[in-house]
Every structure is written in C-alpha cells, then in structure tokens.
A and B are shown apart, each in its own frame.
Chain A
Amino acid sequence: MAGRPPIRRRTARGRLVLFLFGLLSVWLGLGYRLFEVQVVRADEYREMGLNQRLTREVLAPDRGTIFDRDGNPLAMTIDSQTLYAMSDEVEDPTFVAQQVAAVTGRDWRALRERLIQGDGFVYLARQVEPEAAAKVLELDLAGVYSLEEPKRVYPQGAVAAHVVGLVDVDGKGLEGLEYQYDEILSGTPGEVVFERDRRGIPIPQGLRHVIPPVPGDDLVTSVNLTIQYAAYQACEEVREETDARACWVVALHAETGEVLAMAGAPGFDPERRIAEDGSTHLTNFVVRGMYEPGSTQKLITLAAALDTGTVGVDTVIPQVSDRIEINPGACRSPDDDIFGCFGDFSPHETVDMTVGEIFTRSSNVGTIKIAQRLPAGALVDYMERFGLGHPTGIDYSGEAPGLLDRPRDPHCNTCVPSAAIGYAVAVTPLQMAAAYAAIANDGVWTSPSLVSSRIGIDGKVSSFQPQTRRVVEPETAWVMRQLLAMVVSEGTGQLASIPGYRVGGKTGTANKLGDDGKYTDETVASFVGMAPIDDPKVVVAVVVDQPAYEYRTGGRAAAPVFADVMEAALHALGVVPDAVSS
C-alpha cells in the first residue's frame, strides 16, 4: 500500500513528459516543413506561381487616317463593339438569337444556328455601334459579352472606294491604299504584360509592364474630293445613259503628276466589301485594267514624228484614202485587220491632207503613213518614253505594265502600223493620262502619285518625290497642244468643250477583240485631254467600256464625261478662265 503512490506519481510524471514531448515535436516538425516550403523550394514555387499569373495582351495600335488633299477623311477608324457569346453558357439559343437580331439587324436564324453549332466562342455581331452593343448587354443575356473592336469606316463610301480600297474585318489592308500602305497605316502593336487574377483581371499590386502601341501614320493623298465626287458622279451617269459596262476616270495634276481623282463605276461599298452590281469585283481598272487605246495613241505617234523632225505640222501627206494595205491584197481577205488592212472610221474621198488635219480628223490611214516615215523602232521607242509598256510607278498595288510586245516583234510587219493607231498594244487609263500629262507639262513626263505625304505620330510630315524625265522638246509639246485644242474646237472631240476655257484632247474608239480573236462592234470609247490648253493644269482620261451602239465613239460617250470632270476640276482648283472670244 505504502509503495503505490510514488509509483503512480512517477507514472503520471512520465505521461506528462510524454504529453509535452508530443506537443513540442508536432510544432518542431511543422516548423521544419515550413522552412522547406518557404526557403528551400521557395524560388521554384514563386516562379511557378508568377508564370501562372502573368499574361500578355496585345495592344492594337490605331490605324492611320487617309485624308484627301484638303484634310477630309477618306478612311478612318472609329470605336465599335463586337458582340460574342460563349455558347456553352447560353441557355436559350433561340431567345438570345432573336434578341440580338432585333437590336443589330442580323438574321436570327443564322445566329441561332451558330449558337447551336458553336463550341465556345461565337461571334454574334462584329463591329456594331457602341449604343447597340450596350442595348444588347442591358438585356443581361447569359453567356453574351462584348469586346472593343475598332471599325474602319469610309465617310465617302463608294465615291473614293477605288482610291482608298478596303480592309478586311480584322483591319488588315486588302486593296487600294489600305493595302499599299498597310504597314505604315497599321503602326506597331504594343503589349502589356501583367499579373492577372483567376478571372483574368489585373491584380492591383501586381506586376505591370506596358509597351504602348505606336499608332499608324496618317496619309494625305493628293485627291481633291470635289473632283473625285464629280468623276464618280459623271461615271455613274454615263453608265446609266449609255448602258456601258463600266466607266473609269483619272484626273492628274499636269505639273506634279498627282492624282486629283480616280474613280470608276460600278463602284463598291468599302465597308460592306461588295460591289454596287452585287459582284465581288472590286478592282481598280484605272491602274490595273489594260485596253487597246485606239486613236488616243495617235498623240504619241504624231509627237514622235514631230519631235524627230520627220514631218512638220503643215507637211502635206499626199493621197490619203480611206483604206491602206500593209500586205498586198490584205483588204480582200476576210480577216483584213489582221493581215494589214486598215480603214478610217468613216469612208471619204482620197485627198491630200496636212499632218495637222490628219490628227484633228483622226485619220487612221494618214497616221499610218506618217508612222511609216519614222525611222525603224522610233515609234516603240517614243511609246516607251511616254511611259507605255511599264508600270508608271504609282503608289498603288498591282499596277499593270501594259503590253508593247507586238510592235517590238521584228517579224510582225503589221504591228507597228497597228500600234501607230492604238491597236496591238495594251495600256492602262493611267498610262494614257500620264502620257498626255507629259504634253501638258511641256514635254516632261512625271510619275503619277496618290499619297503626297505621311504624318507621323510626332507630327512629322514626310513627302514623296515623283520621278520625272523629258520625253519630247517643249516645242513639240506646244504644237501638240494646239492640235489637241483643234480636235475639241472643230474635230471629233467637240463635246469635250467647256465654256470659258480652251480645252484640248483626243478621242479614242477602239473595237474590242471578241473571244474568237476577231474584232467586234463593241468598243472601248475614250477621251484624254487637258485644260487650259495654253498652260494646262489638269489632265483627265476617261474610258467607257462597251457603251450602247449609238454612243460607241469616244467623242459621244467619253468626251461629255471629260467635260464634266474637267469643269469641276478647273473650278475646284480656281483656274482662271481663258479670255475666249467666240
């Protein structure tokens, strides 16, 4: 009995020590583990955690604005919202589709289809006005969200569409200046690297590293909106009046080669990316289209003859009939034009004609006779000098070079005479306008250009310098201008006259080649001219493709368009009228 309590006390004490040992060892162990996690492996864990939180977002730069020469915007970028859905969060696709369609004007069946088929992210309506997006978001539809997506708009619509071109829905240049200058316009994307929370929202105390985007430069074009509008309008009207397939106009500043207007019909809506005739044919014929110029080419033939001293303007060419055979018997062949039989537009008696008369009356036979007096190769030489057969170097993508292969071919004896009157060669409307501008500019050819300067974010303006070269002597150019004036005052181009100004120009009527390789009755009617003739400021080229038969000549279809555009141009540029005594 007496021995028991001490034993029990010792046992109790032992248990107490055991108890304390248990308590302390737990905390010692956990403390060591904490050290392991927070010190030994800390760097590894810290890095992994940071990588989990870090995210980068591209900051889209603002796309530059394209202006006309007076600062009117032709293409600009505005804020807009894009509505999208996470399809798995949408509870009632039909309801959502109908609600979104009601506000945005989209087809609700198509939207529903997309919602049902979609797996995750689904576009509902891209680039809608912020107000419309807000209206949809107010409906609080499950799974419907919006994001900011800038939209490219074209305040002038179809009027300037062939100048500025268009972008795709993601804002990438597809056509026109938008494509040509895409890199300059689009700027440099920025980037923001930041720590986000699990919902993707930046953590206030987190890392944040921003490389701001550099906005694209603005472009100032040489286009004059008034002239541009007149050109578009005139083309639309002539197309309606003559039932032509298409009409193209380009107006150049005579001295600088700057494009004042470049328009065509049918035009297209650059925002909807669809042509007015419903097709997706959006190309610019002025720069890319090739056609046989017909009589407008005679300017170059005659300028070559005068400039080389082969003939003078008053030189009489004897015995000019209404037909000429390059190969004997060609005119009796059924395929006469191919074997070297050339005729005039309308029959006439065989007469002696001066060089000047041949030009103003647009005699094919006379022109060929003049061309035959030229040294071998001189005609093609001059055509090249005037810029045919090569791209003009305009700052517009996809320019066509034209074709001079056949008159260059030594084995083709009919090709040079053909070329003399504008056949067997292909040119672009722009090339012809530039060739006439060389005559307007006292014999100096200047490469046409659209963009006159770019304005950087720092306000720095840089200008583009055109290329120039002398093509003919100033005297030759002066003589040619007088002849051009006579074409309008008393020749084939009388519908091109403008009250108050002396106008010069040349008509062209070229039969189109059919699919079978034979010439048809269909024509390309054109007119290229300049005003005021004593000191030309503006050159306008008009090409009307396939007008109705009664309008088939350049003088009927194209000259009135020229007159409309030129008049608008002279007024817009404030050109003082000539003192014309009638």
Chain B
Amino acid sequence: MTGKVTSITQVRTTARRRERQRSVNARTATTILVVVAMLLVVGVTAIISASSAVAIVEVSDRFYFLKRQLVGIGVGLAAMAVTSSIPYQTYRRWALWLFWISIALLLAVLAVGEVVGGSRRWLDLGPVNFQPSEFSKFAVVVALAAVAERKGRLLEDSGHFMGPLVLLVGLTGLLVMLQPDLGTTVVIGVAAFGVLLCSQAPLRYVIGSGMLALAAGATLAVSADYRMERIEAFLNPWADALGSGYQLVQSYFALGNGGLFGVGLGASRARWFYLPNAHTDFIFAIIGEETGLVGGLTVMLLFTLLAVAGWTVVRRAPDGFGRMLAAGITAWLTAQAAINIGGVLGVLPITGITLPLVSFGGTSVGVTMAAIGVLLNVAQQGRTEG
C-alpha cells in the first residue's frame, strides 16, 4: 500500500517536473526565436539603407539586395522549421556523411568556384550562389560531436583526441584556407573548441589544442602578404588611411557620426560609397551610424541573449551529443558575430565574414537559421540536470 502511495506521489512529482521542464524548454526556445526574429528585422532594415546606393548604381534597383535577402530568409525559415522538427539524435547516423559532403563541396569550390575579391568561395548554381564553407561549419560541429560522443572517455588518450581533431577540423580548415578564407577557418576552430569543451576530453588537451590552433592561425595570418597587410591596417589604420586602412577608418567615421543615438534610419553617410561592403561585412557600422551606441549595444545584447540561451541549451541537453552540438553551434554563432563586430570596431583584423542573421548573404542566413533549428530541437528535449 505504502509502495503504491509512494508511487503515486512519485508519478505526480515526475509529472510536475516534466511540466516544469517543458515550460523552461519553451521559454528557452521562445527566447531564441525572438532574438533571431529581432536580428533578422535589424538586418533587413539595415540592408535597405546600406545597400540602396550601391544597388541603384549597379543594378538600377534600390531594393535588389533586400529582395535577395528576403529570399534567403524565406529559405532559412523553411530550413529552420525542418531542422527544429528533426530529432537531433538523427544526425549521429548522418554525421560522417554530412562531413564528407562538406569536404566534397569544398573541393568542388576549389575546382570550379567563382573568384570574388581574390578568393574562391562561391559555387555558381545558376540563379543562386552557394557558399560551401558556411555549410562546413555545421558539418564539422555535427561530425566532431558525434565522434567525440562515440569515443567518450577514450578522448583522455591523446591519440584518440588528436585523430578526429586533425581529420575533421584540420582537413576542413585546410580546404577553407586554400580558398583562402581565414575568418571562416577561425570560426570553425572556435566552434570545434566549443564542442571539445563539452566533451569528455581533458581540459588541458582542449585548451592546449586551442592554443596550438591560435598559434597556427597567427602563423597563417602573417604568412600571406595580403593578410599581413590586413594585420598592419588593423594595428594602425591611420598609417594608410586611403589604402589598406581605408575600410576601418571609414568604419570609425560611420560609428563616430552615429554617436549616442544615431543619425536616423536611412541617413547614413557611409553608405554613399565611402564604406566598402557596407551591406555585408560592415553592416554593423551602418547600424551604429544610423541608430548610434543605443542601436549597436542592442545588437550586442541580442547576440549575448542568444549566447546565454545557447548556453542554457547546452546545460540542459539530455545527452553528450546534444550538449556538444549545442555548444558547437553557440560557439560558432558567438565567434562569428564577435569576429565580425571586432573587425568593424578595430579590435580584431578584418577577416571578411558576415554578421550572422544581419549581414546580407543568402547562404549565410540559410545555414545559420538551419543551425539554429538544430539548437531549437536540442532545447525542446532539455531536462533538468541530475
């Protein structure tokens, strides 16, 4: 009898706990969705302003980039709907397939890709262009998480730790560097670091490999003339304000012009051909100019909220794979946003990567939203620790 009574109490307790878990999960998912929606709105608004001058001159249609971005967002929404409803556990089985597809696409881009601005990043698929390195970020996170989970505590062995790392991250990084695209390589590295941080690998290995990657990145940065130039421009943009330092100096002018509250939507001066890539890599400068410190901090706050929500998902993930998946995606998005904004603010070298969900770029938005769909799926399965 008492056993039965106990069991009813247990059933109730379990039910209540499930109830609470569901509500926490829903809150996390909602937070992510709201943040994503707001970032998209901010991005679209900024693209209208930042791209119109260039659009009128180049294609005689001031909404050209807006239209293309809306298509990208549409595709992204569909992708997010799909990925958020696929149980993330499914990717365990497909992890290596995704990885090899990514490698194949990267090889394809090196073979037949379009060269834009000195690097080979795009696959021309008729009406749309596709940037395989965006997809690679996702593929590396999934594959690394799957392998790390399977290896479990074997990762305490340095051979087991280094093997997948070199294969998955190293090979992908190498192919991306051949484009060349250091920025994306760094993002992939940071995402892998996020995955490994939540694996069962010893912390010293994780941090050690992180340091190693950092050293490798620094070596790569100074290895090519154009990257060295970027570093110099980053260290002292005023030395060549009309040449290598030009973009950063113009970024400062835009942000300074914005001040506390901004010059108003559509009133950016930098967009009139002064700031190169105003609607892509440097969209944050336009946001800062038009909406001021207030707007810029708001965007940063949104990314911080996304990071904290991502961290919540990591904390509550039901298994190691989910935890590592969420950690990889969260690290990836945070790293990409931070590297982009850091470049705009002159605290990091300019690397030419987009501000996730905000910058113009169909592939970027599509892949980012698909990844957030995965994050949402992990979030839905979250449970209280212990």
Q: Could you list which residues of chain A lie within 8 angstroms of chain B, going by C-beta atoms?
A: 8, 11-12, 15-16, 18-20, 23-24, 26-27, 29-31, 33-35, 37-39, 41-46, 48-50, 52-53, 195, 197-199, 203, 205-206
B286 within 8 A of A: no
A20–B253 touching, CB < 8 Å: no
| 13 additional contacts (CB under 8 A) given A33-B346, A33-B347, A45-B252 | A15-B197, A15-B198, A20-B311, A23-B308, A23-B311, A27-B301, A38-B255, A38-B256, A39-B260, A45-B257, A53-B274, A197-B274, A203-B272
* A44 CB contacts on chain B under 8 angstroms: 256
Query: Which residue of A19, A27, A31, A34 is within 8 Å of B198 (Cβ)?
Result: A19
Give the docked Cα–Cα distance between A30 and B301 (Å): 11
B269–A20 touching, CB < 8 Å: no
Decide yes or no: A206 and B269 within 8 Å by CB, A27-B307, A34-B288, A39-B259 being known contacts. yes
Closest A residue by C-beta to B330: A23
* A8 CB contacts on chain B under 8 angstroms: 200
B43 within 8 A of A: no
Q: Which of B186-221 contact A (CB under 8 A)?
A: 194, 197-198, 200, 203
* B315 CB contacts on chain A under 8 angstroms: 16
B194–A30 touching, CB < 8 Å: no
B300–A37 touching, CB < 8 Å: no
* B304 CB contacts on chain A under 8 angstroms: 23-24, 27
Give the docked Cα–Cα distance between A12 and B311 (Å): 13
B300–A198 touching, CB < 8 Å: no
Query: Which residue of A16, A24, A30, A48 is within 8 Å of B347 (Cβ)?
Result: A30
Closest A residue by C-beta to B320: A12
Query: Which residue of B256, B259, B267, B300 is within 8 Å of A205 (Cβ)?
Result: B267
Closest B residue by C-beta to A206: B269
* B341 CB contacts on chain A under 8 angstroms: 30, 34
B240-270 vs A, CB cutoff 8 Å, 1 = contact: the mask equals: 0000000000101111111110000011011
A42–B259 touching, CB < 8 Å: yes
* A41 CB contacts on chain B under 8 angstroms: 252, 256
B300–A38 touching, CB < 8 Å: no
Name the distance in Å between A66's Cβ and chain B's nearest Cβ: 44
Q: Could you list which residues of chain B lie within 8 angstroms of chain A, going by C-beta atoms?
A: 53, 194, 197-198, 200, 203, 250, 252-260, 266-267, 269-270, 272-274, 288, 292-293, 296-297, 300-301, 303-304, 307-308, 310-311, 314-315, 327, 330-331, 334, 338, 341-342, 345-347
* A31 CB contacts on chain B under 8 angstroms: 297, 300
Name the distance in Å between A21's Cβ and chain B's nearest Cβ: 10
Name the distance in Å between A194's Cβ and chain B's nearest Cβ: 12
B342–A30 touching, CB < 8 Å: yes
Give the docked Cα–Cα distance between A31 and B198 (Å): 27
Name the distance in Å between B375's Cβ and chain A's nearest Cβ: 14
* A199 CB contacts on chain B under 8 angstroms: 273
Name the distance in Å between B281's Cβ and chain A's nearest Cβ: 16
Give the docked Cα–Cα distance between A212 and B345 (Å): 42
Can you name 29 A-B pairs with beta carbons within 8 Å? Answer: A15-B198, A16-B311, A18-B197, A23-B304, A23-B310, A23-B311, A27-B300, A27-B301, A27-B304, A27-B338, A30-B300, A33-B345, A33-B346, A34-B293, A34-B296, A34-B300, A34-B341, A37-B252, A37-B255, A38-B255, A38-B258, A38-B292, A38-B296, A44-B256, A45-B256, A49-B269, A197-B272, A203-B272, A206-B269
* B300 CB contacts on chain A under 8 angstroms: 27, 30-31, 34
Give the docked Cα–Cα distance between A267 and B385 (Å): 107
Query: Which residue of A19, A29, A33 is within 8 Å of B327 (Cβ)?
Result: A19
Give the docked Cα–Cα distance between A19 and B197 (Å): 8
Give the docked Cα–Cα distance between A46 and B331 (Å): 34
Query: Which residue of B194, B260, B267, B310 is within 8 Å of A38 (Cβ)?
Result: B260
Give the docked Cα–Cα distance between A49 and B271 (Å): 12
Name the distance in Å between B101's Cβ and chain A's nearest Cβ: 29
Give the docked Cα–Cα distance between A29 and B346 (Å): 12
* A35 CB contacts on chain B under 8 angstroms: 293
* A30 CB contacts on chain B under 8 angstroms: 300, 338, 341-342, 345, 347
B273–A197 touching, CB < 8 Å: yes
Give the docked Cα–Cα distance between A8 and B199 (Å): 11
Give the docked Cα–Cα distance between A19 and B315 (Å): 10
Among A35, A38, A50, A199, find the residue whose CB has the most chain B CB atoms closer than 10 A.
Answer: A38
Give the docked Cα–Cα distance between A43 and B258 (Å): 10
Closest A residue by C-beta to B194: A19
B269–A203 touching, CB < 8 Å: yes
Name the distance in Å between A52's Cβ and chain B's nearest Cβ: 7
A26–B297 touching, CB < 8 Å: no
Among B269, B273, B304, find the residue whose CB has the most chain A CB atoms closer than 10 A.
Answer: B269
* B301 CB contacts on chain A under 8 angstroms: 27
* A206 CB contacts on chain B under 8 angstroms: 269
Among A41, A50, A197, find the residue whose CB has the most chain B CB atoms closer than 10 A.
Answer: A197
Give the docked Cα–Cα distance between A33 and B252 (Å): 11
Closest B residue by C-beta to A49: B253
* B256 CB contacts on chain A under 8 angstroms: 37-38, 41-46, 48-49
Name the distance in Å between A41's Cβ and chain B's nearest Cβ: 6
Give the docked Cα–Cα distance between A233 and B146 (Å): 106
Decide yes or no: A45 and B338 within 8 Å by CB, A34-B296, A38-B296 being known contacts. no
A46–B253 touching, CB < 8 Å: yes
Name the distance in Å between B236's Cβ and chain A's nearest Cβ: 15
* B252 CB contacts on chain A under 8 angstroms: 37, 41, 45
* B194 CB contacts on chain A under 8 angstroms: 19
A16–B314 touching, CB < 8 Å: yes
Give the docked Cα–Cα distance between A386 and B258 (Å): 77
Among B255, B267, B304, find the residue whose CB has the most chain A CB atoms closer than 10 A.
Answer: B255
Closest A residue by C-beta to B292: A38
Name the distance in Å between B85's Cβ and chain A's nearest Cβ: 27
* A43 CB contacts on chain B under 8 angstroms: 256
B272–A52 touching, CB < 8 Å: no
Closest A residue by C-beta to B260: A39
Decide yes or no: A38 and B269 within 8 Å by CB, A30-B300, A52-B253, A197-B274 being known contacts. no
Name the distance in Å between B198's Cβ and chain A's nearest Cβ: 7
* A27 CB contacts on chain B under 8 angstroms: 300-301, 303-304, 307, 338
Name the distance in Å between B116's Cβ and chain A's nearest Cβ: 21
* B270 CB contacts on chain A under 8 angstroms: 49
A48–B255 touching, CB < 8 Å: no
Name the distance in Å between B340's Cβ and chain A's nearest Cβ: 10
Name the distance in Å between B110's Cβ and chain A's nearest Cβ: 32
By Cβ-Cβ distance, the 5 closest A-B pairs, closest first, are A45-B256, A49-B253, A197-B272, A198-B273, A23-B307
Give the docked Cα–Cα distance between A26 and B269 (Å): 29
Name the distance in Å between A22's Cβ and chain B's nearest Cβ: 8
A49–B254 touching, CB < 8 Å: yes
Give the docked Cα–Cα distance between A206 and B269 (Å): 8
Among B272, B288, B315, B345, find the residue whose CB has the most chain A CB atoms closer than 10 A.
Answer: B272
Give the docked Cα–Cα distance between A50 and B334 (Å): 34
Name the distance in Å between B348's Cβ and chain A's nearest Cβ: 9
* B257 CB contacts on chain A under 8 angstroms: 42, 45-46, 49-50
Query: Which residue of A15, A23, A197, A205 is within 8 Å of B266 (Cβ)?
Result: A205
